[in-house]
Amino acid sequence: MCGIVGYIGTKKASPILIDGLLKLEYRGYDSAGISTMEHGYLSNMKDKGRVKNLYDLEGIDSLEGTIGIAHTRWATHGKPAKENSHPHMDNSNTFSVVHNGIIENYQNLREFLTNHGYHFLSQTDTEIIPNLIHYYYTKLEGNNDKFLQAVHQACGDLKGSYAIEVLCKDEPETMIVARKDSPLVIGVGKEENYVSSDIPAILSYTKDFYLLNDGDLAKLSNTDISFYDSSLTPITKELKNIDWDVSACEKDGYEDFMLKEIYEQPKSIRETIGSRLKKNEKVNFEDISFTKETLSKFNKIYLVACGTAMHAGLAVKPLLERLCHIPVIVDIASEFRYREPLIDANTLCIYISQSGETADTIAALKLSKKQGATTIAISNVIGSSITREADFTIYTHAGPEIAVASTKAYTSQITLLTLLTLYFAEVLESAPVSVITNIKEELLLLPEKINEVLKDTSKVKEFAHKVYTEKDIFFLGRGTDYTVSMEASLKLKEISYIHSEAYAAGELKHGPIALIENGITVVGILTDPTLVEKSVSNLQEVITRGAKTFIVTNQELNQTNYDEVITIPTTNPFISPILSIIPLQLFSYYISKEKGLDVDKPRNLAKSVTVE
């Protein structure tokens, strides 16, 4: 949701900035713009629409500045329009600013600035920032570091979330950045520095990064970076090497990032398992190292997340309860934090976020820490906000996920949560060794079984072609198959814009069957041998009423009146959600392609939801 790029060095800034914005398109946006330091003035080139539209702006090819900032905007305050696009400048054109986040008190600040003679050209909350900086800047005559001081004072007035980059025409070799509750990283090169809201945007230029904490500011030149805390006290930062493969941010011959990431799942699962699980050994979690005494004190476990990450929690809940004998509550982060959850020192809270920057999830984590809970963060991004807030952090190793609709991050999250469950059970000695051993063996076989599913996807593609014009599709399942139904339904909504709903199959007769009519499509998932007969009965009910059926199963089915059956390899029912979702990810993908939609960048959606 919104993206930031910055460059300060010896090369022309504009091509680097636009390249970075193109790599941030997956975050979701409706307009884009860049500002560069030219010969004594700040340029400002922006427009609504796609980043590629910037190439058509008059004068953009003549930009020569070696310092610049850039932004892709996802509309919050003010409709998508050129005047609401970033960068924004103050009335005197002294400062240029790009901003991710939301300024909650912008109306009060706007009124304050209006009373002091400032006027506004947009409807955004962001435009108050450069004008507020200018207001303080004019009060600091004679100050040795007016630019930094003015930005610091302005940030002190802002309530809400922000990651900002600021240029000042009076200091043409300096950039200042600051963050609070929105991600921002600084990449280090040779006589050049980069800034971005997300590592993939600048990964092709550097793998060495500084990570800013909440309240931090940084002053950059092309050869130096100075860091300050929220009190403007100088601080030091550790330079981190991010060892991601640059090619992971490219399509690498695939038509879309989503398709590439679906096919990367055997690798991402294998790498998430990594050294944590070896044959005939106990699961290794040295990064948390809980004792039996520590785990025994927990009387409940919360799994808290949003969207797909929440579905990953739902998929693992049955296994966690079965093996560890601890009640597990899966909750939506945006609901959890507002209903006064029952949390204390005997509560374990696990927070799941691919980006590690999901605003609601971070806020929920902070709440549980205040109430004394032990917290674990599960993220795919090293050094992300959630990992710096939690007591403990464990990482999936999915690599950069560019498509907005999550695929490989989801299956990696289930894999990691399953490993964590096995670890807990072994420490607690709460489950039969034979059960744990079987699940371990099946986890190690998953990458090859996913490859088997991906070898031939023609039947999925053919059925997608038959139903892509439909307006409603329903998903049914029981137990863990129901959690897969929820995720499959979400995928279809996200990228095809078809209305879909997931129902627990046993609830069909309690209302949803009223929606079943002749010709409608119902997707059934059947992987649990203890529940398959009951699920088959529910599917026969929809067939009787004229529904077309698309079945994903690894069970022997006696009925032959299904329209299409996708057979997947057998595995332990507790980890079947990792395998059964694969053809359903492809189902959504192929429907979207049939409709001619932008698979990687669906409308109205953002990859990283950094505002509440």
Q: Is pLDDT at 611 greater than 60 in this prediction?
A: no
DSSP code per residue over 68-98:
EEEEEE--SSS-S-GGGSSPEE-TTS-EEEE
Q: What pLDDT score does 609 carry?
A: 62
Q: What pLDDT score does 607 carry?
A: 59
Q: Is pLDDT at 395 greater than 80 in this prediction?
A: yes
Sequence-ordered list of residues with C-beta below 8 angstroms from that of 480, at least 6 positions apart, any chain: 315, 318, 527, 528, 573, 574, 576, 577
User: What is the Cα–Cα distance from 385 to 376, expressed in whole angstroms?
Assistant: 13
Q: Is pLDDT at 497 greater than 80 in this prediction?
A: yes
Question: 291-304, pLDDT tens digit by residue?
Answer: 999 999 999 999 99
Calculate mean pLDDT across residues 385-390: 88
| Residues 322/428, Cβ–Cβ less than 8 Å | no
Q: Is pLDDT at 592 greater than 90 in this prediction?
A: yes
Q: Is pLDDT at 255 greater than 60 in this prediction?
A: yes
80 preceded by a cis bond (ω within 30 of 0): no
Structural domains in the chain, CATH included, are: 3-243 (3.60.20.10), 250-454 (3.40.50.10490), 458-594 (3.40.50.10490)
Calculate mean pLDDT across residues 342-359: 92
Banded model confidence at residue 118, pLDDT cuts 50, 70, 90: very high
The tokens describing 569, both together, are: 């390899």
Question: 85-95, pLDDT tens digit by residue?
Answer: 889 999 999 99
Q: Is pLDDT at 552 greater than 80 in this prediction?
A: yes
Q: Please report how many Cα atoms fall inside a 13 Å half-sphere around the Cα of residue 326, on the Cβ side.
A: 25
Q: Is pLDDT at 251 greater than 90 in this prediction?
A: no
Q: What pLDDT score does 23 carry?
A: 80
Q: Is pLDDT at 444 greater than 90 in this prediction?
A: yes
Question: 508-547, pLDDT tens digit by residue?
Answer: 889 888 889 899 999 999 999 999 889 898 999 999 999 9
Sequence-ordered list of residues with C-beta below 8 angstroms from that of 599, at least 6 positions apart, any chain: 256, 257, 258, 259, 403, 405, 495, 589, 592, 593
Rounded to the nearest integer, the mean pLDDT of the chain is 91
Q: Which of 185-199, 236-250, 435-449 has the lowest mean pLDDT?
A: 236-250
User: Rounded to 5 degrees, what angle do the CA atoms 14, 20, 23 make?
Assistant: 145
Q: Is pLDDT at 612 greater than 70 in this prediction?
A: no
Supply the DSSP symbol for 103: B
User: What is the Cα–Cα distance from 519 to 543, expressed in whole angstroms?
Assistant: 9
Q: Rounded to a whole number, what is the largest CA-CA distance in the chain?
A: 86
Banded model confidence at residue 246, pLDDT cuts 50, 70, 90: low
Burial bucket for residue 371 (CB in 10 Å: 0-12, 13-18, 19+): middle
Catalytic positions, written as ranges:
2, 607
Residue 42, phi-psi category: left (phi > 0), alpha (psi -120 to 50), beta (remainder): beta
pTM of the model: 0.75
Calculate mean pLDDT across residues 582-589: 98
Banded model confidence at residue 1, pLDDT cuts 50, 70, 90: low
Question: 147-201, pLDDT tens digit by residue?
Answer: 999 999 999 999 988 999 999 999 999 999 999 888 899 999 999 999 998 887 8
Q: What pLDDT score does 182 carry?
A: 82
| Residues 420/285, Cβ–Cβ less than 8 Å | yes
Calculate mean pLDDT across residues 394-417: 92
DSSP code per residue over 298-360:
-SEEEEEE-HHHHHHHHHHHHHHHHHH---EEEEEHHHHTTS-----TTEEEEEEESSS--HH
Please give the share of the chain, as a percent, with pLDDT higher than 90: 69
Q: What pLDDT score does 213 carry?
A: 87
Banded model confidence at residue 245, pLDDT cuts 50, 70, 90: low
Sequence-ordered list of residues with C-beta below 8 angstroms from that of 289, at least 6 positions apart, any chain: none
Q: What pLDDT score does 48 carry?
A: 83
Closest C-alpha among 148, 160, 149 to residue 107? 160
Calculate mean pLDDT across residues 316-338: 95
Please give the share of the chain, as a percent, with pLDDT higher than 70: 97
